[in-house]
Structure 1
Amino acid sequence: MTDKPRHLLTLDSLPRATLEALLERAQAFAAGEQARDALDGVAVCTLFFEPSTRTRLSFQLAGQRLGAHVLGFDASTSSTTKGETDLDTFRTIEAMGVRGFVIRHKGDGAVTALAAAAGPGVSVLNAGEGRSAHPTQGLLDMLTLRQAKGTDFSQLKVLIVGDVLHSRVARSDLHALRTLGAGEIRVCGPAALLPDDGTLRGCTVVDDFDAALAGVDAVMMLRIQRERMEDGLIASLDDYHRHYGLTATRLRRAAPDAVVLHPGPMNRGVEITDEVADGPQSLVLRQVANGVAVRMAALDLLLGC
């Protein structure tokens, strides 16, 4: 690939050719292609300052499948609890000869700042930064959509539902959908949970969830973050479910072959019912499986020969 990037921090402004090349490589891995020696001898650290299940484990498995030496980092059991700064932690691990960092952090700009401090030959992959970006989640969502709907997104109607304001997943999905030329992007959620900073440019915002579902090809549900109740941004979980919960009855308003995605973790009975989450139109577990393939492709791009 020409113009190989050093870091992968966001999908915003990522060239379409690079994005599509990543998806093609990920599809090859998903189909069973082996690359055990691609990162043979390369040390990769999953540097997570926030809890994670899917992202952390899939990155670790991806690195192992590429032959990397994978080091796990848990902030709760590290010297950060003794006052060590994030930058000192990063530089300490870098000094051990680690070439690749997979970093998750709650602070917007924190991963980007660590990437700027990286020494020569060291690459950083953003595994979730504040509310601003989660590029590999966006990539795995696009791979899942491509598998279900084909590579031409120009006629695709996609609906994103929920707390877009605080969602790094939604932002990365929106970046990718625009780059891939999605035909129509609809957004639905409580007004207090929709951003007004340009994030939704080019999107059709629909207040009524039932109306928003009409004829869509894909429904991308977002986790309702329960702390938003404490902030007074939603009245109650029951009220949220009544207005924005995806039920089997509601899903019938979408296209007959519509698919349902959710980045997890799911709040069952709040933003999605068991019947939908476990139903035939749900691609939630395929997203999880695709996460390993996408993260293999991303690590291979940044750190492979």
Structure 2
Amino acid sequence: MPEEIEEIQEPTAHDFNQKHLLGLAHYSKEDILYVLDQARYFREILERPVPKVPTLRDKTIVNLFYESSTRTRLSFELAQKRMGADVVNFSAKASSVSKGESLKDTIRNISSMKIDMVVVRHESPGVPHFLTRCVDAAIINAGDGAHEHPTQALLDMYSMRDIHPDLQDKNIAIIGDIAHSRVVRSNIIGLTKIGANVTVCGPKTLMPVYVEELGATVSYNLEETLAWCDVAMALRIQLERQENGTELFPSIREYHQKFGITMKHLEKYPDFTIMHPGPVNRGVEMESEVADSKRSIILSQVTNGVAVRMAILYLLSGRSRV
């Protein structure tokens, strides 16, 4: 098995000197492409009869989740165990945080246990940056408020490259709750850096004023957007992040009528690929049949997420593949 692993060499030479993954704003085009190329190696690992490699043996990783999560937390945990790491899962609800302990004291106490990496999700933007000032461990942002979600964007780009190996000048549409999504910010930053064209589409009440400054084009017309794009990524309506809930649009039903992707759209526009970072609200962002159609790569995104997170863990661990 070791000989088989060594046969797969890094596709391009690149001086990757990042210590953390706080957001894609801190990564260059070359950094992003290097991560995606590394993920191909780990994606192949996942297809083997024994999908494990001892790359992170003797490394201790803490999953520090202050927000509820299913896909991201399980994906990171599976990636870590596939690579032989010692994993500690931290839940704020079942910790001293519920007794009033501060984030700074929590992370310093955890750090005193000699950890190597921290994967953190928190409702407040900037927490991953703050942790870099508290501990020496590598910090990976698993989502901070409505700011960034870099590993989701990386797995999205990896999934797009499965369909379009070169994303230069490809047209990517992101549709839905743009204002409250950390996924959209990281995707716009990453996709524009590697040369893709990005259009965001949704109700005016869910469109932030800064989005064009990030390099995206704004549209309020779903039909025009789907006619233009090569990939359509729908986003969940995040009612839990909205102060006024459905007051930002008349009703869920009307939202679906104006911005929901239907089977009629797939028939009318036969070329674009369907994506969604999950969880999918069937009958809202898209019809159930759309999510299950052959044009959808939603489940592939989930599998690719493990490979991409394995690549990030490997690159930030300072270990060589063995």
The letter of the residue matching 1:38 is T
Deviation at 1:126, TM superposition (A): 0.2
What is the distance in 1 between the residues matched to 2:94 and 2:302?
A: 27
Question: Which TM-score applies when normalising by structure 2?
Answer: 0.89
Residue 78 (1) aligns with residue 95 (2): yes
Match in the other structure for 2:146: 131
What is the distance in 2 between the residues matched to 1:25 and 1:72?
A: 26
What are the within-5 Å matches in structure 2 for residues 208-247 of structure 1? 208-227=221-240, 228=242, 230=245, 232-247=247-262
Give the 3 Å change call, closer, same or farther, for CA 141–212 of structure 1 in structure 2. same
Match of 1:126, SS? strand
Residue 12 (1) aligns with residue 29 (2): no
What is the distance in 2 between the residues matched to 1:253 and 1:116?
A: 52
CA contact (8 A) 1:30 1:290 kept: yes
What are the within-5 Å matches in structure 2 for residues 169-188 of structure 1? 169-182=183-196, 184-188=197-201
What is the distance in 2 between the residues matched to 1:252 and 1:112?
A: 45
Deviation at 1:231, TM superposition (A): 6.2
Encode CA deviations 1:42-74: one digit per residue, 9 max, x unaligned. 000100000000100010011111111011111
What is the distance in 2 between the residues matched to 1:198 and 1:4?
A: 29
Which of 212, 215, 226 aligns to 1:202? It is 215
What is the distance in 1 between the residues matched to 2:247 and 2:272?
A: 33
Match in the other structure for 2:272: 258
Residue 269 (1) aligns with residue 286 (2): no
What are the within-5 Å matches in structure 2 for residues 129-168 of structure 1? 129-150=144-165, 152-168=166-182
Root-mean-square deviation (Å):
1.5
Match in the other structure for 2:293: 279
Deviation at 1:246, TM superposition (A): 0.8
Match in the other structure for 2:40: 27
- In the alignment of these two chains, the number of paired residues is 300
What is the distance in 2 between the residues matched to 1:249 and 1:14?
A: 39
Structure 1 unaligned runs (5+)?
none
Give the 3 Å change call, closer, same or farther, for CA 201–252 of structure 1 in structure 2. farther
Match of 1:297, SS? helix
Match in the other structure for 1:44: 61
Deviation at 1:199, TM superposition (A): 5.1
The letter of the residue matching 2:222 is F
What is the distance in 1 between the residues matched to 2:180 and 2:239?
A: 12
Match in the other structure for 2:309: 295
Match of 2:97, SS? helix
What is the distance in 2 between the residues matched to 1:199 and 1:71?
A: 40
The letter of the residue matching 1:216 is C
Match of 1:146, SS? helix
Give the 3 Å change call, closer, same or farther, for CA 198–277 of structure 1 in structure 2. closer
Which of 56, 63, 71 aligns to 2:73? It is 56
Structure 2 unaligned runs (5+)?
1-13
The letter of the residue matching 1:186 is T
Identical residues among aligned pairs (%): 41
| Runs of 4+ in structure 1 over 6 Å off | none
What is the distance in 2 between the residues matched to 1:252 and 1:85?
A: 53
What is the distance in 1 between the residues matched to 2:61 and 2:194?
A: 30
What is the distance in 1 between the residues matched to 2:203 and 2:228?
A: 21
CA contact (8 A) 1:215 1:253 kept: no
